[in-house]
Amino acid sequence: MTVELNPVTSGYSTNVINDNFQKVEDWINLNALWRQGVELGQANQMELPLDMNGFPILNIGYDLNDPGSPLTIAIADSRYLNLSGGIMQGSVDMGNHPVFVRNPVDSNEPVRKEGLDQERSDRIARDSAITQDFQAGDANLQAQLTGEVPLEASAFSPISWHDQFIGNSVTIPENKNAWSFGPSLSLSEGQAITIEEGSYYTIAEGSSTDSDITFNGTGADISTTYSPTYVSIISSTGSDADISGATPSNAGVLSASDKSKLDSIEVGATADQSAAEIKTSYESNDNTNAFTDSEKAKLTTTDVFDENGDYTNLRARGTTKTDVGLSGFIDSGSIAYTTPSKVYWFYAYLDSNYNKVTDPETIPFGTTKPNSRGFNTSTYEFTCPVTGVYSFTASLFETVEAGGTSLEVWFTVNGVKVDGNYTAAGWSRAGEILMVQASTTLYLNAGDTVTVVDETANTGGTILGTQSSTLPSRTFFTGVLL
């Protein structure tokens, strides 16, 4: 809404100026809000919404008795509860209007009427059942008093009765007299009647039953005596009885000897350990190293040199000496202990002459002396059984086809030449027999193979073997672990 004023064209147009002031006065009186009260008939209310453009209205007044009065946040928080949370500072008058609450969860929550009604109904039902039990008991008592039925459990009844079966365990307190009536009374399996100190329990005219507790006669004092093999039950009125020791087929008391056996068994011991478990347990102790069957067999057949220089089994000959020097016996009365306890030795030789086919050629030693170890007469090689230092010697006798031939013999390890010997060239004549020997000492690993190779340029020559059964072989290969 705007105020339209007339233009003033002259400073002396008082009529125009006065007319404009009148328009401003009328607009203020008709459209502006007044800070203070107005005269009767003047407007003092908003005609359109008021947009504060994000700015607050300060120092607003309120009338707590006027339902249309605005409130500040501070006044509202002090008088009213929030939708979530808040604490009442006084009582609430609902004016006969209901309050709806959830089913109570915590102990301090109010209950609902339907919950109270259910609780009341349940209590009435329980009270009714108790009342009915009381009424039935009272009717039964009245029937006993009038003689319609016998008095029950009364010391003054001419006739009374009780069940012949006790279903639950019963403890008779100290210094009490208790009784039951026979002739038969059974106790449920697994239950017990406990008689405390100073108390007595009597079954009148009782008889033996197949239950966990048995009473006989009109009451008796029972005592026990013990022996190493049985227990005696002593009765003051009836016959005594002995409970024998337990057997594999029948139950009984534990004998003194069996108890001693049990006490001697270690805690946690078992009777079903396997042989492997026992072996493992034994070998876990100090100085109990495993000793296999193969190791035992090796000790049983310890191989050494005998007095003839042959490799044989000295233990089998009855001696207690198992370690001997390479030279065998020192004399007929003692044995020199100069070598390891296990001797690895072989002696291979040619038992007949052999015509060479190639050059070089592995000498085909086809025969070994008894108890030689590690030499293969099919491949003509020695395989080291263990890692160590070995000494080898080879001898070669051979006829030459042409003069000036030099005889050569070599040791090979895994097919590679390592050491050997030869004769001087130029001295030999065709048809002569030459001889050369070679010796070496080698450090070898277990599994290494050693052979003797003839490298003489003498294809068609003859390698000489044993001359006769009474003479030693001329061509041989021998070795020993040092």
Q: So where are the chain's domains?
A: 1-82, 165-244, 344-481
In angstroms, the CA 327 to CA 338 distance is 10
pLDDT tens per residue, the chain (482 residues)? 577 777 777 666 788 888 888 888 887 777 776 656 666 556 667 777 888 888 888 888 888 888 888 888 777 777 777 777 777 778 888 888 888 888 888 988 888 888 899 999 999 999 999 999 888 888 877 777 776 766 555 545 566 667 777 888 889 899 988 888 777 778 888 788 888 888 888 877 654 333 334 443 345 567 778 777 777 888 766 677 888 888 888 888 888 888 888 888 877 777 777 888 888 888 888 877 777 787 777 766 654 444 444 444 444 444 433 333 333 333 334 434 344 446 789 999 998 888 887 888 899 999 999 888 999 999 999 999 999 999 999 998 888 777 667 778 999 999 999 988 877 655 667 777 888 899 999 999 999 999 999 887 777 778 888 776 666 778 999 999 98
Query: What is the model's pLDDT at position 321?
Result: 38
Query: What is the model's pLDDT at position 391?
Result: 95
Check if the beta carbon of residue 380 is closer than 8 Å to that of residue 389.
Answer: no
Query: What is the model's pLDDT at position 468?
Result: 65
Query: What is the CATH number assigned to the segment(s) 344-481?
Result: 2.60.120.40
Contacts of 401 (CB under 8 A, 6+ apart): 430, 458, 459, 460, 461
Q: Is 25 exposed, middle or buried (0-12, 13-18, 19+ CB in 10 A)?
A: exposed
What are the helix and strand counts (H, E) for the chain?
A: 6, 26
Strands 200-204 and 177-181, how do they pair?
A: parallel
Query: What is the model's pLDDT at position 146?
Result: 74
| Tokens found for residue 42 | 């003047």
Query: What is the model's pLDDT at position 215?
Result: 41
- Taking the complete model, does pTM exceed 0.75, yes or no? no
- Give CA separation, 63 vs 35, 100, 319, in Å: 18, 31, 132
Cis peptide before 183 (omega within 30 of 0): yes
Q: Is 102 exposed, middle or buried (0-12, 13-18, 19+ CB in 10 A)?
A: exposed
Query: What is the model's pLDDT at position 153?
Result: 53
Query: What is the model's pLDDT at position 412?
Result: 95
